[in-house]
Structure 1
């Protein structure tokens, strides 16, 4: 995995391209950092005053940047910067299929790096003065959802059948205290999820096992996969918006049971308990849970 570029305050990374402070692409205005737009179910009741307020759903966040390429006296460098942005958008791994995204890493003073995932939808320069090394640039980035994410993910591995690494040691020495904090006893099925918003995990079961079933205890949501995995084979359930795939190590798809709702399987801020079962006489299979802490605001 490539080591992320260390960003300075006021510097951002759009795909592989650095913009903002200390780069040839300066930013005059950054819009879309507040509340994301919503799809509402509001209804005006016929023959009555007021408004019936329905369910609200966030749309994907839209970021708009009023920017400019500034490379004094070097028109070729202006074109190079524009070409780099277009090259990032043209990546077949991003635009070649539905749901795939690129990262827009943001570094504002007073905050660690936050990430929004989506696609660059507009990169329109004004070329009237580019011969002098200056071209105003209108950028628009469409995120797949409304959240801001941590730059790095958290991950934990849960062996099959392991309930706890805690317990009591005999003979007991009085007085003794039973700690009510599940995180304190080191149970691998308990996850401490940072952030202020729910986040969607990526779940990978590695064999040998058959028909694994994963449950988020707090919500009762369960994802069950109908497949058999030999030793070293795996199946990955990606619950993230836009992705939402269930794939084997060979790239093939695997069905979930009809009751499994991949779009509703979320981790919430705080302690989450994950349990999983499978048929495995060796008890050597495992579940890896990865997630990016999510935030409602910068």
Structure 2
């Protein structure tokens, strides 16, 4: 179980940047308010009578709010004020996230304690009323993509076993006959948290036409070949939903004969994962990366 009690420290992380705040830094986290997810509802008034016809509704991502006290150091007030001004410049630059905002698809990670929300830093509202004494306390906001908090990443590895199943039960719809290069292996993964989690799968070659099946959830069938030094990344998370080969888009890799990425959410509990494909070298590996999802800090 993730320890979620340390809420006086955190960090903001995005490509090329990791900015810690809280205990042990000159940026003290003095207040944190979790945002509320807005609701987009397709409700309608009942014509000619009382009541409301309730339709399908969707949640927006909440906006979280932080207050950070910036505490300058120095032997005199002048030195303290100068240090605070320099620290404010650093904080404002990090929160502006210019490189992140300039392109689509990138996300920042806001960590409070040990749990993380994904999204973008937004407003930076200064409060310089005590700047002359070496103190400033800006209020910052963070727009999250959803209303969940995610735990540390857990990684499981499944090594492909070729030529023999080793007594493992093979799913009935495996579309090939095992020979010297075909193989299938399985592994049980445990999903913690209080909400469904979305896995990220990494397949390291060499392998041809791999498949990944989570029993009772869905099976992803892929078409194509990976060399020994290539990796297929399958990101099922709602803000990603992409398939990459060595970091580049790999169109047509997912066969329509299987599940879609949007089918692959994993409820808390244990799940058996099968990994198969053609690999005569016996070296292909599947990594299953999961962050437990929580509905509250």
- Aligned residue in 2 for 1:208: 206
Farther-moved stretch of structure 1 (132-141 vs 72-81): 72-81
1:88 is displaced (CA, Å) by: 2.6
1:166 is displaced (CA, Å) by: 7.8
Q: Normalised by the size of structure 1, how large is the TM-score? A: 0.76
Structure 2 residue runs of 5 or longer lacking an equivalent are: 169-184
**Would the aligned equivalents of 2:96 and 2:122 in 1 still touch at CA under 8 Å?**
no
1:193 is displaced (CA, Å) by: 1.0
Pick aligned residue for 1:234 from 228, 231, 236: 231
- Aligned residue in 1 for 2:31: 29
**Aligned partners of 2:205, 2:7: CA distance in 1, in Å?**
44
Secondary structure of the corresponding residue to residue 292 of structure 1? strand
1:36 is displaced (CA, Å) by: 2.9
**Aligned partners of 1:83, 1:261: CA distance in 2, in Å?**
45
**Would the aligned equivalents of 1:196 and 1:295 in 2 still touch at CA under 8 Å?**
yes
Give deviations 1:199-256, integer Å, cap 9, x for gaps: 1111011111122222222223x3333321112321111222323321112x321123
1:28 is displaced (CA, Å) by: 4.4
Figure out how many residues of one structure are paired with residues of the other and give that number.
Answer: 264
Q: 1:164 to 1:49 in 2, by over 3 A?
A: farther
**Aligned partners of 2:89, 2:189: CA distance in 1, in Å?**
43
**Aligned partners of 2:283, 2:190: CA distance in 1, in Å?**
24
Structure 1 residue runs of 5 or longer lacking an equivalent are: 1-6, 108-112, 168-186
Farther-moved stretch of structure 1 (228-237 vs 50-59): 50-59
Q: 1:126 to 1:54 in 2, by over 3 A?
A: same
Structure with higher strand content: 2
- What aligned pairs does 1:143-162 form with structure 2 within 5 A after superposition? 143-150=144-151, 152-161=152-161
Q: Normalised by the size of structure 2, how large is the TM-score? A: 0.77
- Aligned residue in 2 for 1:267: 266
- What aligned pairs does 1:1-298 form with structure 2 within 5 A after superposition? 9-15=7-13, 16-21=18-23, 23-32=25-34, 36-71=37-72, 73=77, 74-89=80-95, 94-107=100-113, 113-150=114-151, 152-161=152-161, 188-220=186-218, 222-249=219-246, 251-255=247-251, 256-258=254-256, 260-298=259-297
**Aligned partners of 1:92, 1:206: CA distance in 2, in Å?**
34
**Would the aligned equivalents of 2:217 and 2:263 in 1 still touch at CA under 8 Å?**
no
